[in-house]
Amino acid sequence: MIKHKLALAMTAAFVLAGIAQAQSARDYISIVGSSTVYPFTTAVAEQFGKSNANFKTPKVESTGTGGGFKLFCGGIGVQHPDISNASRAIKKSEIETCAKNGVTDIVEINIGFDGIVVASAKKNKPITLTIKDLWLALAKEVPDSTGKLATNTAKTWQDVNPALPANKIEVLGPPPTSGTRDAFVELVMDHGCKEFAAIKELEKADEKKAKTVCQTIREDGAFIEAGENDNLIVNKLVANPNALGIFGYSFLEENLDKIQGETINGVAPTFESIADGKYPVSRPLFVYVKKAHIGVIPGIKEFIAEFTSEKAVGDDGYLNRKGLIPLPTAKRKQVATDANGLKTLAP
């Protein structure tokens, strides 16, 4: 009896595998990767599907940047995705993994910028922060007056900088799995700590230790991990007027009636200040294409053309209305030429 059942299950499995083989010719583009780039790539995918009757609308999965590269670098063939979204540049280790699995020719497209804002509820008085203030408020260990490292005891913003109000330090931010958190650590924490002579000296003596001190965020309740959902952080800010929140610029733009972006290093987060690079906390967004799949999966070339067109990423493009900050014109032209010429990453 059990043997028969086993045999039956095996046959069923083989039949299923057979179906899979039969449909192995995938006729739509498969995209994976960052949830930050997801809103932009999906908009391009939809536009591409609507304006090209010959091609199916691409499928866009939201897996996170790291998860996306894991799938993307899995190998060549229809069961592996063609394009990966990333909210940071591909790492060397990831290029190596890719190469190990036969994925060698990768086309990198820089699609634009995303600003990371520190925002608070509208009813609050806006405060002007510096990267140094943010680091002092959020780092786990900070140098004391003699330059020795000690556990961060700052309770209010005034403890950090006498010019700031005496509000409790309460910052809602993304968890470590998020690309936004990576970027925040890299752009704010790493730069903020370098403003201290003590850390600079430490860096000379023990680079690894210095990096840990710079990047470790305190865990005593001042920094609250609020999950990947940025809308949730916006709602929590409205409910809690003391708190600050960290998220992508597009969420600030959509909720300007409820929240305001704080000035950092004297620059307020606006479309213009992020676009011309004055706002210090912004990062480039990327899309990576597997060259070996061009010609196998229909429409990849045309999809790249759509993604790099002025209509999409230009100063007045539809992605701009979704909150993407465009590249400067010259850089944009260069990216478009390289991408459409399928220039691959140097190995």
Partner 1 sequence: MNKPKPYSDMPLRNRDIKVIVNAGLARRHAAEQRFRWYGLTAISLGLIFVVLMFGSIIAKGLPAFWQTYIQVPIAFDAATLDPQGTRDPQALASADYNALVRSGLRQLFPNIEGRLELRALYGLTSTDAAYELQRQVQQNPDLIGSNQAIWLLAAAPVDTFIKGNIDRALDEAERPIKNNQIEWLDQLQGAGKIEKQFNTVLFGNGDSREPEQAGIRGALMGSFFTLLVTFLLSFPIGVATAVYLEEFAPKNRWTDIIEVNINNLAAVPSIVFGLLGLAVFINFFGLPRSAPLVGGLVLSLMTLPVIIIAGRAALTSVPPSIREAALGMGASKLQMVGHHVLPLAMPGMLTGSIIGMARALGESAPLLMIGMVAFIVDVPKNFLDPATVLPVQIYLWSDLPERAFVERTSAAIMVLLAFMILMNGLAIILRKRFERRW
Taking CB under 8 A as the criterion, the residue among 253, 302, 310, 338 binding partner 1 is 253
- Residues in 43-72 that interact with partner 1 by CB under 8 A: 43, 45-46, 49-50, 53, 56-57, 59-63
Nearest CA among 170, 163, 165 for reference residue 137: 170
| Cβ contact 114:39 at 8 Å | no
Nearest CA among 52, 106, 105, 116 for reference residue 84: 106
Compute the least distance from the CB of residue 343 to partner 1, in Å.
27
Give the C-alpha separation, 92 to 306, whole Å: 28
Neighbours of 235 (CB within 10 A): 16
The three-class DSSP label of residue 140 is: coil
Place of tokens 């609250």: 224
Is residue 23 close enough to count as binding partner 1 by CB under 8 A?
A: yes
Taking CB under 8 A as the criterion, the residue among 6, 10, 16, 163 binding partner 1 is 16
Please identify, using beta-carbon distances, which residue of 38 and 184 lies nearer to partner 1.
Answer: 38
Is residue 124 close enough to count as binding partner 1 by CB under 8 A?
A: no
The three-class DSSP label of residue 287 is: strand
Compute the least distance from the CB of residue 239 to partner 1, in Å.
14
CA distances from 144 to 136, 151, 153, 193, 196 (A): 11, 9, 10, 13, 10
Is residue 225 close enough to count as binding partner 1 by CB under 8 A?
A: no
Is residue 323 close enough to count as binding partner 1 by CB under 8 A?
A: yes
Is residue 310 close enough to count as binding partner 1 by CB under 8 A?
A: no
**Vertex 144 angle, CA 224 and 130, to 5°:** 55
| Cβ contact 340:304 at 8 Å | yes
Enter the tokens of residue 74: 């899995």
Give the C-alpha separation, 77 to 25, whole Å: 10
Neighbours of 56 (CB within 10 A): 14
Please identify, using beta-carbon distances, which residue of 219 and 257 lies nearer to partner 1.
Answer: 257
Is residue 338 close enough to count as binding partner 1 by CB under 8 A?
A: no
Number of residues that bind partner 1 (CB under 8 A): 45
Compute the least distance from the CB of residue 31 to partner 1, in Å.
8
Please identify, using beta-carbon distances, which residue of 54 and 93 lies nearer to partner 1.
Answer: 54
Piece in contact with partner 1 (CB under 8 A), picked from 113-121, 187-195, 244-252, 293-301: 244-252
Piece in contact with partner 1 (CB under 8 A), picked from 128-136, 145-153, 204-212, 228-236: 228-236
Nearest CA among 159, 222, 216 for reference residue 193: 216
Compute the least distance from the CB of residue 42 to partner 1, in Å.
4
- Residues in 74-93 that interact with partner 1 by CB under 8 A: 79
Compute the least distance from the CB of residue 165 to partner 1, in Å.
23
Judged by the rule CB under 8 A, the positions of this chain that interact with partner 1 are 1, 13, 16-17, 19-21, 23, 26, 28, 30, 32, 35, 38-39, 41-43, 45-46, 49-50, 53, 56-57, 59-63, 79, 228-231, 248, 250-251, 253-257, 322-323
